Chains A and B, each alone.
Chain A
Amino acid sequence: MKQLQSILEKDSFSRTISSIFSILIGLLFGFIILLVSNPTQAVDGFLIILKGGFSTHAKGIGQVLYFATPLILTGLSVGFAFKTGLFNIGAPGQFIMGAFTAVYIGVKWTFLPAPWHWIVALLGATIVGGLWALIPGILKAYLNVHEVIATIMMNYIGMYLANFLVKSYIYDSKKALSMNVADTAVLPKAGLDKIFYNTMGTTKDLSTVNCGIFIAIIIAIIIYIILNKTTFGYELKACGFSQDASKYAGINDKRNLVTSMVISGMLAGLGGGLLYLSGGNGRRIKVVDVLAIEGFNGIPVALLALSNPIGTIFSAIFISYITQGGHYLQTLNFVPEVIDIIIACIIYFSAFSLFFKDYIFRFIKNRVQSMEEKKQERLEDGGEE
């Protein structure tokens, strides 16, 4: 019991548990919607969602990781900004601008040799994503324009600009998508193609997953180190917790605010690059007037991870997993829109972990304590156990 109590008091443990709890509640809620929309197939449907990426074996898992890659980055983007006291709602814009830049470099700069080509393309994506966040950052720091408003505006500007630029420079009019990037610009598989494939007769049905997932994980670790081990992170977090106290301590709060916003945008931009530099069976930029969902899903990813960079890896994989599961729901009699609703409900409900964290813990602790007390009473009353 004592041990249980000491574990409960550990912060990291409580965070993990509250995240898991909110996932369960999200799933429960999803199940209710399944029941309402299609009672006869609800249980089957729910099982398919739970099976997630496993529904299509090794390739499916590969796809989960592939779609988790941009989510890790946008999740980091939102989480990083949040740790420093900013709400970056602009991940969709930063993401799509980064994506365009990466694809543009991937298609046009064929003079670059193999590893350099994709590296430069990713760098380009990162820089442009950062620039896209620089503007709201400056507006916030020096003109006190709220970053939520500014980043939302930049989302639309980014979306339409990317559409225009794709159509003007890198448009494949037959498929109505962006062009394939050059082979030299495709992210290497890094051995993942030997694990994540399904055998179809004599051919291998490869998953799209590539070294992007490793890059994403490394970035998450770097962000963790920056936030927790460096003076830079110490300053950023101080600004996030209390701008007044930071200013009082002599920290340049305005500069930190801009830097933080730029880093946040760089992460989202890199996410765009990683998703779209994925070769033949990977994603292409669609010219549609819809904000990039990977950008917005960064918000629940970050919330579910309570903005912890390492936690972001897992929450991104979870959300990608559930989303994949949703795709397979189409094998049953579910309308695609309903599937989207169910998945959105699960994701956003899960993101309520913040609200559950304290509440659940008080509850569990009280239970443990009252059990302790009862045991104590029994000991006192009976003198033996």
Chain B
Amino acid sequence: MEYVIEMLHITKEFPGIIANDDITLQLKKGEIHALLGENGAGKSTLMSVLFGLYQPEKGTIRKDGVEVKIKDPNDANGLGIGMVHQHFKLVHNFTVLQNIILGVETTKNGFLKMDEARKKVMELSNRYGLMVDPDAYISDITVGMQQRVEILKMLYRNNEILIFDEPTAVLTPQEIEELMKIMKELASEGKSILFITHKLNEIKEVADRCTVLRKGKYIDTIDVSETSKEAMSEMMVGRKVDLQIEKAEISVGAPVLEVKDLVVASKQGSKKAVNHVSFKVSKGEIVCVAGIDGNGQSELVYALTGLSSIEGGQILLNGEDITRVSVRHRNKAGMSHIPEDRHKDGLVLDYSLQDNLILKKYFTPGFQKNGFLRFREAEAYADKLIEKFDIRSGKGRETETRSMSGGNQQKAIVAREIDLNPEILIAVQPTRGLDVGAIEYIHKQLVTQRDEGKAVLLISLELDEVMNISDRILVMYEGEIVADLDPKEVSVQELGLYMAGSKRGEAR
């Protein structure tokens, strides 16, 4: 069998790290080939090499058996290689059609000729069942639809090799199903697809073969139909992983956090980002707010933690009205917050690990005296947390946090927030971008908090996470809580319907 693309013995180094170490990947014509690995395994680097964003130190790339040099994305495009990035590269105030032809406009005497382009786009759209409206503005269409625009962009450029970089991360279960259908359609029409993911279900469903990477090394290329999910997961992580989480049965105590009729204005438009939301979180339960990204979860958390102002409503913490008090007051009253964006909010990246670990304690008597920092205490405290939470870094507490890995940065935040001994822990996507080991660890920490009788409010986009560790699920859609569900009684499919707004339940 001929291979359309062969990447042979690719080695790509970055200062201090070998991102790709002698990796070989061979893509057959018309197949869907999954690239499986944890974060940091080198998947993205490998694809960036193929797409011309990086130059490998060693190794060759062959197209249809002929060696080629790919110096930049234009070269890649010329060879028929297209990529759907994880974060779409679309112009929001352009129409679908304008976005698709951007860069390859058909012109006559310097004037745009849209008619031909429109015809071709519609033809492609119908052929692959993409069903896009060419005149809709990107800002008005759903994320799933935006992704199809990206796919159309590749098709419009006659790309034969399509790279999908974690395409399902932003989609609802229904949209994922649609995407899978489209991918199969594309493959049957002779396109070759490279599909980057760390989700085993999706690989099982759609891929023909799968190449596994671990820590920059090539592990194996397997036939998907002949390999079990467990085996793949073991190849990916390098050890057996327990994906199920043990939770003790405990009874729910008194309410800790009470939110009444909360309204938060939206930054754009007149719609409310959070629209009359009410709920309670009690001692000994993990309440999870599920929903598709951008449905008001971030604004809800910003309002709860005091980082943004609210329009109306009331927030009670252990009966105390904290609606209008400062962030510091909330922290002292027992609110901990693992923020969504660890780089923007969670850490002062230019500070050392030690300075970040005392970020919420430096003003307490243990760490300062008459306004002067007590460095010895801070050092001891930092060392204690580093050991207890197994935070790994190059130079211990002196390490600049910017240089640490994402997982360890997250561990540092988790350590700091949990060690505050909070009444309520608000964790926003605490496992985003982390590898399986770190995810396991952070889930255990959250469950430990709950088992100790603390209240946990978890905001998550990962359905597995939602189903696995929560005691109660609140579904948020367009700023409203549209359902209050029990994870034991609801299926993933049903949850997806709530998240997409096509079903509404009664909030308890």
A binds B: yes
Q: What residues make up the interface of A, taking CB atoms closer than 8 Å to B?
A: 229-232, 234, 237-238, 241-242, 244-252
Is B349's beta carbon under 8 Å from chain A?
yes
Contact of B348 with A246 in the complex, beta carbons under 8 Å: yes
Residues on the A chain within 8 Å of B330, using CB: 250
Asked whether B362 lies within 8 Å of A234 as measured between CB atoms, the reply is yes
B contacts, CB < 8 Å to A: 305, 307, 326-331, 337, 339, 344-351, 355, 359-360, 362-363, 368, 371-373
Residues on the A chain within 8 Å of B305, using CB: 248
| Contact between chains at A252 and B326 (CB < 8 Å) | yes
Across the interface, which residues of A come within 8 angstroms of B363, CB to CB? 231
Contacts of A237 in B (CB 8 A): 351
Which residues in B have their C-beta under 8 angstroms from that of A238? 348, 351, 355, 359
Given contacts A241-B351, A248-B339, contact A231 B360 (CB under 8 A): no
Chain A residues with CB under 8 Å of B345's CB are 244-245, 247-248
Q: Is the CB of A234 within 8 A of B355?
A: yes
Q: CB-CB < 8 A to B360: which residues of A?
A: 249-250
Nearest residue in A to B355 (C-beta to C-beta)? A234
How far is A249 from B346 in the complex, measured between Cα atoms in Å?
Answer: 8
Let me know if B349 and A247 touch, CB within 8 A: no
Q: A-B pairs with the 5 shortest C-beta distances?
A: A250-B328, A250-B327, A248-B345, A241-B350, A249-B359
Residues of B contacting A249 in the complex (Cβ-Cβ under 8 angstroms) = 327, 348, 359-360
Q: Return A141 CB to nearest CB of chain B, in Å.
A: 15
Choose among A230, A247, A248, A252 the residue that contacts B373 (Cβ–Cβ < 8 A): A230
Question: For residue B355, which residues in chain A have a CB less than 8 angstroms away from its CB?
Answer: 234, 238
Residue contacts A-B, CB under 8 angstroms, 7 given: A229-B373, A230-B372, A231-B363, A231-B372, A231-B373, A248-B327, A249-B359
* Most B-side CB within 10 Å, residue of A230, A231, A252: A231
Q: Verify B349–A242 contact, CB threshold 8 A.
A: yes
- Compute how far the CA of A223 lies from the CA of B228 in the bound complex, rounded to whole angstroms: 64
Nearest CB to that of A228 among chain B residues?
B373
CB–CB A245/B373 < 8 A: no
Q: Which residues of A contact B372 (CB under 8 A)?
A: 229-231
Q: Is the CB of A248 within 8 A of B349?
A: no
Contacts of B362 in A (CB 8 A): 231, 234
Instruction: Give min CB distance, A84 to chain B, whole Å.
Output: 12
Q: Contacting B344 at CB < 8 Å: which of A229, A242, A250?
A: A242
Question: A231-B362, A231-B373, A234-B362 in contact; A245/B346 too (CB < 8 A)?
Answer: yes
User: For residue B347, which residue of chain A has the nearest CB?
Assistant: A245
What's the minimum C-beta distance from A307 to chain B, rounded to whole angstroms? 13
- Provide the residues of chain B in CB contact with A251, threshold 8 Å: 328
Alpha-carbon distance between A166 and B329 when the two chains are bound, in angstroms: 49
Residue of A nearest to B341 (CB): A244
Minimal Cβ-Cβ distance residue in B for A248: B345
Known A238-B351, A249-B359, A250-B360: A231·B371 in contact at CB below 8 Å = yes
CA distance A3 to B362 in the complex (A): 35
Contacts A249-B327, A249-B359, A250-B326 known; 13 new A-B pairs at CB < 8 A: A231-B363, A231-B368, A241-B348, A242-B348, A244-B345, A245-B345, A245-B347, A247-B327, A248-B327, A248-B345, A250-B327, A250-B329, A250-B331
- The residues of A that contact B359 with a CB separation of less than 8 Å are 238, 245, 249
B491 to chain A, nearest CB (A): 36
CB distance from A286 to the nearest CB of B (A): 42
State in angstroms the CA–CA spacing of A237 and B359 once bound together. Answer: 12
By a CB distance below 8 angstroms, the chain A residues around B344 are 242, 244-245
Residues of chain A lying within 8 A (CB to CB) of residue B327: 247-250
- With A231-B373, A234-B362 already in contact, the answer to whether A248 and B368 are too (CB < 8 A) is no
Q: How far is the CB of B177 from chain A (nearest CB, A)?
A: 37
Docked complex Cα distance between A338 and B379 (Å) = 54
Shortest Cβ distance from A297 into chain B, in angstroms?
27
Q: Which of B327, B339, B345, B348 counts the most A-chain CB atoms under 10 A from its CB?
A: B348
Give the residue name and chain of the B residue nearest to A232 (CB).
B371
- Tell me the bound Cα distance from A340 to B331 in angstroms: 56
Give A232 to B373 CA distance when docked, in angstroms: 9
B277 to A: closest C-beta gap in Å: 22
Query: Which of B329, B346, B350, B371 makes the CB contact (< 8 A) with A248?
Result: B346
Judge whether B351 and A248 touch: CB under 8 Å: no
Q: Smallest distance from the beta carbon of A165 to chain B beta carbons, Å?
A: 37
Closest to B375 in A: A229
Complex: how many Å from CA A249 to CA B358? 10
| Chain B residue with Cβ nearest A250 | B328
Structural contact, A241 and B349, CB atoms closer than 8 A: yes
B54 to chain A, nearest CB (A): 19
CA distance A251 to B328 in the complex (A): 7
Cβ contacts under 8 Å, B346 to chain A: 245, 248
Closest B residue by C-beta to A362: B15
C-alpha spacing A244/B326, complex, angstroms: 15
Residues of B within 8 A of A245 (CB): 344-349, 359
Which of A229, A232, A242, A247 contacts B307, CB < 8 Å?
Answer: A247
A68 to chain B, nearest CB (A): 30
**What is the chain B residue whose CB lies nearest that of A225?**
B372
In the assembled complex, which residues on chain B have CB atoms less than 8 Å from the CB atom of A230? Answer: 371-373
A244 to B348, CA, bound (A): 9
Most buried by A among B329, B337, B372: B372
* Nearest-Cβ distance from residue A232 to partner chain B, whole angstroms: 6
B43 to chain A, nearest CB (A): 28
How far is B326's CA from A252's CA once the two chains are assembled, in angstroms?
9
Separation of A247 and B345 alpha carbons in the complex (Å): 8
In Å, the complex CA distance between A237 and B307 comes to 20
CA distance A77 to B79 in the complex (A): 56
Complex contacts, A229 vs chain B, CB 8 Å: 372-373
B326→A248 contact, CB < 8 A: no
In the complex, chain B residues whose CB is within 8 Å of the CB of A250: 326-331, 360
Q: Which B residues are CB-close (under 8 A) to A241? A: 348-351
Per a CB cutoff under 8 Å, which of A242, A246, A248 touches B337?
Answer: A248
A246 CB contacts on chain B under 8 angstroms: 348
Cα of A244 to Cα of B343 in the assembled complex, Å: 9
User: How many Å lie between the Cα of A248 and that of B344 in the bound state?
Assistant: 9
CB distance from A245 to the nearest CB of B (A): 5
Task: Write out the residue numbers on chain A whose beta carbons fall within 8 Å of the beta carbon of B339.
Answer: 248
Distance of A164 Cα from B371 Cα, bound (Å)? 42
Provide the bound-state CA to CA distance between A248 and B345, in Å. Answer: 6
Q: Which residues of B contact A234 (CB under 8 A)?
A: 355, 362, 373
Which residue of chain B has the shortest Cβ distance to A238 in the bound complex?
Answer: B348
In angstroms, Cα B330 to Cα A241, docked, is 23
| B342 and chain A: residue at smallest CB distance | A245
A6 to chain B, nearest CB (A): 13
Please measure, in the bound complex, the distance between the C-alpha atom of A230 and the C-alpha atom of B375, giving whole angstroms.
10
Nearest CB on B from A246, distance (A): 7
- Of the candidates A237, A249, A251, the one having the most CB atoms from chain B within 10 angstroms of its own CB is A249
A60 to chain B, nearest CB (A): 41
Cα–Cα, bound, A231→B347 (Å):
17
Most B Cβ at <10 Å: residue of A230, A234, A252:
A234
